[in-house]
Amino acid sequence: MAATGNRSSNPAHNRTGQVTKAGLDDDAFDELFASSWLKLVRLASLLLPAATGQAEDVVQEAFTNLYVRWPQFSDAAGAAAYVTTSVVNGARSRQRFWRRHPSAPESDAIGGEALSPEDISISRTENRWVWEALQSLSRRQREVTVLRYWAEMTEGEIAETLGISTGSVKSNSARARLALSAKLRNQDG
């Protein structure tokens, strides 16, 4: 008898779907998934110079890891922070993997030319330009920029998510902002 959507698929959960220790139940997991999945796929898409399908894989893995640890979380905010960090790390791990294994099918996104905006269905000219500008940044600058301008995190939150100091966040953010604003002026001018 295979598990079919029951709440006991995680051994840490009892038959009524409640976790065995103080923690969140599966309904809370589903709620977090529903409210944050799209945003996290978009976050991963902005971090990864690859097709959206890769971003979905990264987010799926992040939620899988989250569910394994679900009983450890007592509040949704902590779980949301964990899964966001996991997505950022997952995107980073993909890029490392592609660099180490350039013969892997998806490695063209890193080892060769980055995928074009068409590959991720970005249609508007302005958005394509922004996409390309983001890809021109270093990985760390792109991470800081996306977390700052898209995820609207504070410097402290970015530092915690990326596991770096706030000083590093500030310096990377300043460099990225300088580069992007220069491109913005050139593009508009």
Site for other proteins in 54-73 (CB under 8 A): 54-57, 60-61, 63-65, 67-68
Q: Using CB under 8 A, which of 81, 92, 155, 175 touches other proteins? A: 92
Nearest approach in angstroms of CB 109 to other proteins is 11
Q: Should residue 18 be labelled a site residue for other proteins when binding is judged by CB under 8 A?
A: no
- CB 87, CB 161: distance < 8 Å: no
The whole-angstrom separation of Cα 109 and Cα 50 is 5
Q: Using CB under 8 A, which of 86, 137, 141, 143 touches other proteins? A: 86
- Exposed (0-12), middle (13-18) or buried (19+): which is 7, by Cβ within 10 Å? middle
DSSP for residue 118: G
Q: Decide whether 57 or 73 has the Cβ nearer to other proteins.
A: 57
DSSP bridge pairs for 31: none
Q: Decide whether 16 or 103 has the Cβ nearer to other proteins.
A: 103
Q: Should residue 22 be labelled a site residue for other proteins when binding is judged by CB under 8 A?
A: no
Q: Should residue 37 be labelled a site residue for other proteins when binding is judged by CB under 8 A?
A: yes
Task: Count each helix (H run) and each strand (E run) in the chain, helices first.
Answer: 7, 0
Site for other proteins in 133-172 (CB under 8 A): 134, 145-146, 149-150, 152, 162-165
Nearest approach in angstroms of CB 75 to other proteins is 18
The full DSSP string for 45-75 is HHHSSS-HHHHHHHHHHHHHHHHHTGGG-SS
